[in-house]
Structures are given as structure tokens and as C-alpha cells.
Structure 1
Amino acid sequence: MTTFQTKLDVALLLESAAWPALLVDPGGIIRRANNAAIELFGNGLHGASTSILSILSGETQADPAKYLTQLERSASAAMALNFKIKDGSAIIVPTSVCAFTRDDEKRFLFQLHGYGQAPAAKSDTSSIAKTEAAPAAPPKQKVDSRATQLARSVALDLNNTLTSIMGHCSWILSQMEPDNKWRKSMEEIARAAAKSADIAENLAAFSRSDKEKEATISTNANAVLRRIQQDSQMLKDRKVQWVAQFEEQLYSARCEESKLQQVFTRVIENAAEAGAVVPRITVQTRNSDLQATLQDTNLRLQPGCYICVEISDNGRGISPEILPRVFEPFFSTKPGHKGLGLAWVYGAVTNAGGGVAISSLHNQGTSVRLYIPAHKRVSRETGIVAVKPDAGAGKTILLV
């Protein structure tokens, strides 16, 4: 649950949402609903005393105020809620709930952002095969254009503000004596601003499209993975066992090297933190020249030329309840984590025209498969030989 204060026009916020949205008072009474919500739940939402509990299925809490208090104390800003819709059936919809205060009045905003993006799950107890790896639910393949525009605008405004904060902090610190009693506080402000700037960049990158650059980009993924293994201090500190199974004739990835390195690093760091007593990470690369649509768990990948980078760990695994939410921005089960790592990975890979699939088994580990668009040509790894600056000066070098 996220709590914030705002002066935004809530009515405009509700009406501009493409998904159902509800405004609820602390007593649980629905005070306002947008057209999408009325279409889903019926005209009963127009009533002056309609309770939020009346449209929730299976909720045993009889006191709507206590129910909202429980939501507010929740560590997560988004959750899967079971709703009763106007035709009498029950559906499970990913929903974000946030509390805010405006003109000294507290309100709760329910946004059913998962409705309409994919077929809603029926609320039943159908059996699940326990011998199969539990696949992640398909992430949203399309992001509403207005939401994307809002994300970019927020990231830009936040970055501009943080630039000013960091600039002033830097100037004050440069003028401040080393033993000044406020120096430590200023350094903390500067560090916090720098972390916030990283979050703003992640938010911008999540909705940024780089497809216009892909035709001229050619990256050797094997070389990137080897460099991460050699340079990662986390892998060294945790004494991670590294198992590499690389395709020697790997196609060239149509993705910038710096972005590919960030994608791999975030997945590898997650694997290193998977909770194994003796952590082991297995990294496989292979070519994937698809002649037909590929179905990998719930990922549907269109025909084309890709490389597949599969990163597996031997950790505790991810529970079936958590697995569908791993790509959800700001969702994390790890204390102190922002929940943007895999969300950023998913955004970067899909914006490049690829896809991400994930599967996991309890106490057997997790496997993440990254499908990166590729050129159907092999990118050779090259070594760099260090020479003295004046070596060969004045000589002619023949390149063949």
C-alpha cells in the first residue's frame, strides 16, 4: 500500500483511466467510480451507500473500515483481488490500492489496472499439476499509451528536480568544512538523491522504445556474460559457482551492449540472492531461429531470429502465488529492494522486440529465459592485447 498526499484533480484521474477505478472513503463507501467501473460492476455503484465489500467476492471481513486499514498496512501497492461483477460471476484482477489525503479528507483509490489487458482469471479451484514448473502469468504485452506518456513525464520531471537537488548538495559539500556537524546529513541527502535518480532512469527506460536503433546494433552476448562473471564483486563475495554452457557460433544480438549488460547483471544478481546454501548459477546461450510462434510457459514469441540466454539458480524457488507478479513494478519480497529489477529487465527486453519467460520449482531453483532479437550472423569474440603507447610508432600495420 502506498500512501501519499496530492493536489491532483481526482475526478480527472478517474475519468482518464482506461481501466476501472473507484474512489472509496475511510468508511468503505464508494464515493466515485469511472465509466469503466460502472460498466464492469453495474449502475449500483451510483448508490450513495455502496460499500467496497459489496463488490468483493469471498471477503470475510465484515467491517469495511477495518478492511481498508488492513490494506493500508500491506507492504504491497498492488495485489490480486477477487471481485463480483454485474453478471454475478467472480473474477480475479490485479489491482493497485493507494491512500491519499486531499483537503484534510482521506480517500482510497482502487485501480483495476489488470482488467482488460488479458483474460481475467475465473475464481475457482481447478487443480494444478504439481510435477510441472509453475509458469509466470503473461505480463501485459501492451501498456496504455497514456500510462506510458505519464511514466515518461514523471521520470523527466523527477530527474529535473533531482538534478537541482544533487547540484546544490554538491556545491554545499564543496564549501563545507570536513568536520562540519551537518556534513554527514548532506552526504546522506546526496546519496538518497542519487538513488532516486536511478529509479527515475529505470522508470523512463521501462517505457522507452529503442527499436529504431536495432538494425545497426550487433553485440556478442557471450563476451558480455564472461565480463560480468569476471568483474562482478557480488559473485566473488558470495562464492557463487559459475557454470557456463555457451554456444560458440552464437548469433549477434540486436541490443546495445550496455543495456544487455544491465539486463544480464540484474538477472544474475537475483539468481545469486536466491537463497541457496552453496549458490550455483548456470548460464546457457543458444541460437533460436523460429519458423513458427514459440510458446514458452506463457510467453508467445513471434517467428524470427533470436538468441536465448537462460540463467538458472539452485535456490529456494518462487512460490506459485508470487511467480505471476515477478515482473510487476515496485513489487518485491526482499526487504530494502525497490522491486524494479525484473520489471526493468522485462521492459528493456520487450521494447527491443524480445521476450522473457520464467519458471520455478520449490527448492529446486528458478530459470529465466531471455529471448533477444538477433542478426543471423556470428559475432566473434575478440581479445585485447595491451601494448606500450609507443610500440610500433612510425610503422605500418596490415589488417587482414
Structure 2
Amino acid sequence: MPKTARQSPSQEAQVAKLIGILESAVSAIITIDDHGLIESVNPATESLFGYSASELIGQNVSILMPEPYRSAHDGYIANYLASGVKRIIGIGREVSGQRKDGTTFPVHLSVSEFEADGRRYFTGIIHDLTDRRHVEEALRESERRLAQAQKMEAVGQLTGGIAHDFNNLLLVITGNLELLEQQLDRDEQRALLKEAQEAAALGSKLTDQLLTFARRRHVDTQVIQLNEIVVGVTDMLRRTLGEHITLSTSLGRNVWPIRADPSQVQSAIVNMAVNARDAMEKGGRLVIETRNMVFDADEAGFHSDLKPGEYVQLAISDTGTGIAPEIRDRVFEPFFTTKEKGRGTGLGLAMVYGFVKQSGGHISIYSEVGHGTTFNLYFPRAETDTLSFQDKDVAASPDCQVRGTVLVVEDDERVRQLTTTRLKLIGYQVLEAGDGAKAVEALSGSDPIDLVFTDLVMPGGLSGWDVVARARQLRPGIKILLTSGYAEELVHANDLRRERLRVLRKPYSQADLLAALKDVLGGAPGRPGADGP
């Protein structure tokens, strides 16, 4: 801060007061001269940007800006000094800042100016908007999910009403056809009658599908073992999917019983398997998985329709073309289809959606265009012989013995923030990277990193496998934990076994994450799941 050569006691008191305010401020406060060089920074600036004061004093303030702001900044100052036209001074606006590690983040910047000793200076107050953006994004996502749920509910009510009325019409048609059949004696007349009866039967089947979507169809719920249903239906699927589709299963041990209509479970598996086959015209792999899942309040909140508790997950994954984000919310709508005319009614996934909802469950989609799709179905655990959720929660409480620094590499910001929060809650230090390039940059730096926790499928040119390869080059012996929304068998299972890498399957619980971290960070050499040297 510019000072005069001599200061009176009152001036010194004012300076001390000002210094106290600057040092206690939660926002970053930076003073620069008319050439853009940093004159002073407060402690909040160091915390926010990751630089020490000594690293910043004398540097051009553009060091704290990403492109294109960095290159244009000196021109902004020169233009203002020459023309007096204010772009931000006294106004304030939202811009982007750049930390020492290269990560960018949203900030609100307000600038004022003052003169001292005949020179102009500018003071910028910078407020980090990251938390606010996260809240806004979460709110938008919550509103989107609510709107989608309301739309599906409205469509379901409309569809159910139409199907009910249509069934009444079909009843009149089929009943009169039966009466007419007794009065016909010519073969050609009976042939015409049979065609009409078959058409009416198809209409009845259609209304049955619509009622399933609308959750108004009668279901014969029973306590069933999901693994037994999967085993039974996969034998049939192997015969019908075709030789170009490789079908495999990964069934969890001691999977809990669920309460559902077994015929509807079979129908759901067949519908999703047929959709997967159609998305793999040149062949591919289809994997059906089951496992137990426990969701606490935070994890259930990530899936808006799930309540905390114990579930059985049925996941069907393929290596097909994937589903574009813009149509992902529409795939469960009745009559919506991307198939060419004559190849589908658009009711298959609508039926699955309605059946799962009527069973008290939830369905979600994980998809990457060009890589494949996973449908995750969650069924509540049947109440018979059920352990209490609280007991399970206690059993899964964190073991605080394992600690370290984890580099989280995940392109989905919501998932990355959730993962970061989970890791910090159990005592880990966390570094974040939104793509492979930023992960490599972090690995090239000096920060200690004990483990790289990376998603396998990411945009931007560098996949999770590329990050693993670079991590081992830059930091030999570093531990690796992978995660993916796809079945383990679809993410280079042979490579995983050869490299002795572990994949944590999305979605996963806090207990699953803790167990995987202990396995990889705390595993003895040669232990399955522990990273090799």
C-alpha cells in the first residue's frame, strides 16, 4: 500500500485499522498500479489463488486470469487511462479467476481507483462464486428433475385414462365379434372375423402396455430372488439376441430378496436387452449385474426419487452407440423412439419405467455417446428378515486409520463435488481435476498425491486409461483407483486383471468408497485389488 514518508499518530492508527480490515476480510483484495503490477494482496488472496504474497507482488495481475482475459487485460487498462471509458470500474461483474494449479473458478470482481503521490492505483475485491454456482446448479438440476417427474406423472395419468376408455371399447368390439362368430358359416367370413379378432387382441396388448406405464396395471407382487430371475431369462436371451452379441452376467452374492411381479421383471430385462441389441448393430457386449446397495440421505438425494434405505440393483450395460444427453430424459416417454419406422413402438422402456415405479423402485441411465449405456434399476429390499438400515449404517461407519491425498479426476462437476465431499468427510486431502489434461498438470506439480481416483470415460482427448499411464510415468508406484458407470467387464476386464487395477462401479455408497480406498491404499503387495508397483 502506498505510504507517505511521515505519518501522524492518527494516520498511523488509520493505517493499522485498514490493515486489520484487509487481513480479516474473507474476500480477496488486490491493489495494482496503472501498469497492472500488483502492489499488495491480503491473506484471503493467498488462500483463494494458491500463491504466496511474495510470489504475487510485482507480477502483472493477469497472472490470476485465464485466457482470453489474461492477454487483453493490459489493453483494458490502457484504454481506460486514454479514454476514461469504464468497463468494470465502479460496476462489478462476474468473471473467471485462475489458481496457481491452473484450475479456473467463477468470481465476482469489483474495482475502484484512487490516487497517491501523483499515481493512479486500482483496488479489486474478488469474491469466490464457486459455492453459489454449485447451489444454483443443484437447484436447476432439482427443478429439472421435478419438472421431468411431473411431466411423466401427467403423461401417465393421461395415458392411463385413455387406455382405460380404450379397453372398454375393445370389450364391446371383441364381445360382439364372439357373438357374430356363432352366426358365420362361410370360411371366407370366418377368415375376416379372425383378422378382426387378432387386431383387437393386439389393441388389448397395447392398452396393457400403456396401463403398465401409467402404473394402473394389476401386478402379482411376490418376494423373489432377483438372481434366479436373471439366470432364467439369460438362457432365453442367449438364443434370441444373436451370435454377434456376447452376453455375460455378474451376479452379486447373497443378494437380498425384493418384492415385485416376476413376469414384469423378466419383461423389463428382455426389453432393455433388445434395446441394447438394437444399439449394437455391428455386435458388442451385454452385461447383466446384480448387487446390494445401501443409500444414506446424501446418496439418496443424488437420485431424487430414492429414499434412504437398502436396495437391490439390477444393471444392464451395453457397448452400443449411447444415448445423446438431449434425449436422455425422453426415453421413458410412451411412443418415443429413435428407431426407424416399423422397428419399435416406443413403449418398451415406458413399460419398464412404470413397472419399476409401481414396485416402489427407481430407474436411472448412465450413458456416453459412442461408448455405451447402462440402465440401473433399484428395487427396495423386501422386509422379510431385513436388517435395520441403522444397523447397516453403523457397520459401514468410516475407519479413520487410512489417510492420504487423493487426486479426483471426474468431468461431471456434480459427481466430482460429491466425491470430494465424501473423501473430506473421512479425512482425506483432495485435489480436483475436471479432465485428463488438468489431472496430468496436477501430477506434474509438486503437491503430494497418494492415489489417483479417475473416471474411465472422459471428454477432452485423455481418457482415464491415459491418465493412469501418465500417472505411472510421472510418479512411479502411485496408487490407482478407477470408477465407471459401466460394468467392469465392459472396461477392458483383461487389462484390469493384468494391471491389477480395481474399478469402483457407479453409483457407489460411502461404505463402498471407503472399502475400495482401504483395499488400494492399505492393501499388501500382491493382494487382489491393490495397485502394482
- TM-score if structure 2 supplies the norm length? 0.40
Structure 2 counterpart of 1:63: none
Alpha-carbon RMSD = 3.6
Structure 1 counterpart of 2:196: 189
Q: Secondary structure at the match of 1:283?
A: strand
- Partners of 1:117 and 1:142 in 2: how far apart? 14
Q: 1:325 aligns with which of 327, 330, 340?
A: 330
Q: 2:214 aligns with which of 197, 207, 214?
A: 207
8 Å CA contact retained: 1:301, 1:355: yes
- Partners of 1:309 and 1:230 in 2: how far apart? 17
Structure 2 counterpart of 1:256: 261
8 Å CA contact retained: 1:331, 1:339: yes
Structure 1 counterpart of 2:367: 360
- Partners of 2:230 and 2:355 in 1: how far apart? 17
Q: How does 1:1-400 map to 2 (within 5 A)?
A: 119=143, 140-142=148-150, 150-170=158-178, 172=180, 179-180=187-188, 185-208=192-215, 217-232=222-237, 235-237=240-242, 240-294=245-299, 299-334=304-339, 335-336=341-342, 337-375=344-382
**Structure 1 residue 307: deviation in Å?**
0.3
- Partners of 1:297 and 1:315 in 2: how far apart? 26
Q: Secondary structure at the match of 2:373?
A: strand
- Partners of 1:310 and 1:252 in 2: how far apart? 16
8 Å CA contact retained: 2:271, 2:349: yes
Change (3 A) 1:208 1:236: closer
- Partners of 1:183 and 1:297 in 2: how far apart? 58
8 Å CA contact retained: 1:313, 1:365: yes
Residue identity over aligned pairs, in percent, reads: 29
- Partners of 2:240 and 2:220 in 1: how far apart? 32
Q: Deviations over 1:81-116 (max 9, x none)?
A: xxxxxxxxxxxxxxxxxxxxxxxxxxxxxxxxxxx9
- Return the letter of the residue paired with 2:213: F
Q: Deviations over 1:249-307 (max 9, x none)?
A: 00001212122222222212211222342242100100012233436986552211110
- Unaligned 5+ segments in structure 2 are 1-139, 387-533
- Partners of 1:225 and 1:327 in 2: how far apart? 22
Change (3 A) 1:330 1:364: same
Q: Which has the higher helix share?
A: 2
Change (3 A) 1:300 1:146: closer
- Partners of 1:318 and 1:363 in 2: how far apart? 9
**Structure 1 residue 354: deviation in Å?**
1.1
The 10-residue stretch of structure 1 (238-247 or 166-175) with the greater mean CA deviation from structure 2: 166-175
Change (3 A) 1:211 1:290: farther
- Return the letter of the residue paired with 1:254: R
Q: Higher RCO, 1 or 2 (CA under 8 Å, sep at least 6)?
A: 1
Change (3 A) 1:378 1:311: farther
**Structure 1 residue 238: deviation in Å?**
5.4
- Return the letter of the residue paired with 2:250: Q
- Return the letter of the residue paired with 1:119: E
Q: Deviations over 1:332-370 (max 9, x none)?
A: 112222211111211211222211111212222111000
Q: Secondary structure at the match of 2:163?
A: helix
**Structure 1 residue 141: deviation in Å?**
2.9
- Partners of 1:313 and 1:212 in 2: how far apart? 29
Q: Deviations over 1:97-148 (max 9, x none)?
A: xxxxxxxxxxxxxxxxxxx99736xxxxxxxxxxxxxxxx777334698865
- Partners of 1:211 and 1:195 in 2: how far apart? 19
8 Å CA contact retained: 1:308, 1:370: yes
- Return the letter of the residue paired with 1:162: L
- Return the letter of the residue paired with 2:357: T
Structure showing greater radius of gyration is: 2
- Return the letter of the residue paired with 1:189: A
Q: Secondary structure at the match of 1:275?
A: coil
Q: Secondary structure at the match of 2:211?
A: helix
